[in-house]
Copies of this chain bind each other. A is one copy, B any other.
Amino acid sequence: MKPRDTPKLHTHLGILDVSALVGGEYGAMVTTTLGDSLVILKPTIEDLVMKMARKTQVVYPKDLGLMMVKLGVHSGSRVIETGTGTGATTALMAHLVQPTGMVYTYDIRPDFQEAAVKSIERLGLSSWVTFRSGDAREGFTDRGMDAGVLDVGDPWEVVRSMKEALKPAAAMAAITPTTNQAEKLVAKMADEGFVAIETVELLLRHIEARVGMTRPSGVMVGHTAYLTFGRKTSGP
């Protein structure tokens, strides 16, 4: 954001004088020109990831969270991923592997990766992301990975490459919107010797918890993606 003389944030609740906030504390309450109150919050990694994900809207915090637990991604992890997409999953994983790990992210579409490079830079996470261009179906150049994520339209075509890139017994996760993709993927993973293969979906429901009148929200997201997990073995 280029500095302007008098930075103002225009919202549907009125205008906010941003310059007056500099040096202030997170969690503070400020008043807009229309007299509404706003609270200044530091964006969480969830906020940042959700903002990046807007274009494709496939990966949600619920899905990312389960993937991170099942893959065991944490400080020091070396993780491989394709495709980069908007970089939302990349950003979350970079956030988790710092300060000593690395996310190797491949994409066949350089135009998508350009936007992701900028987003990751803006988040200050570039030190933990290595961008690589190329067709993952023909193999990754990285080896000995602790975990891997597939988020492409034809993940079954990348299972062999993933197997070569992973450490023995390492876990992979794949994100597929359709049952047909999950079907083909699971068959290919079994062929390549992956075990503990499971496909799941997560449904998140908001609850309106109010004293004496608690009920689930009337509208919910019905589907984001199926998540398939598996562990690499040495055979067959």
Residues of A within 8 A of B (CB): 25-29, 39-42, 44-46, 49, 61-62, 64-72, 74-76, 92, 95-99, 167-169, 171, 177-180, 182-187, 195-196, 198-224, 226, 228, 231-235
A144 to chain B, nearest CB (A): 12
Q: Do B168 and A28 touch (CB < 8 A)?
A: yes
Give complex CA distance A216, B199 in Å. Answer: 9
Copies in the complex: 4
Give complex CA distance A120, B26 in Å. Answer: 34
Q: Do A74 and B61 touch (CB < 8 A)?
A: no
Contact A223 B215, CB 8 Å, known A65-B64, A68-B68, A209-B179: yes
**Which residue of chain B is the closest to A92 with respect to CB atoms?**
B69
Q: In the complex, what residues of B have CB within 8 A of residue A184's CB?
A: 211
Q: Do A200 and B210 touch (CB < 8 A)?
A: no
Q: Do A201 and B204 touch (CB < 8 A)?
A: yes
Q: In the complex, what residues of B have CB within 8 A of residue A195's CB?
A: 39, 41
Give complex CA distance A197, B213 in Å. Answer: 17
Q: Do A222 and B218 touch (CB < 8 A)?
A: yes
8 A-B pairs with least C-beta separation: A65-B65, A220-B222, A27-B168, A26-B169, A75-B75, A216-B223, A27-B169, A65-B66
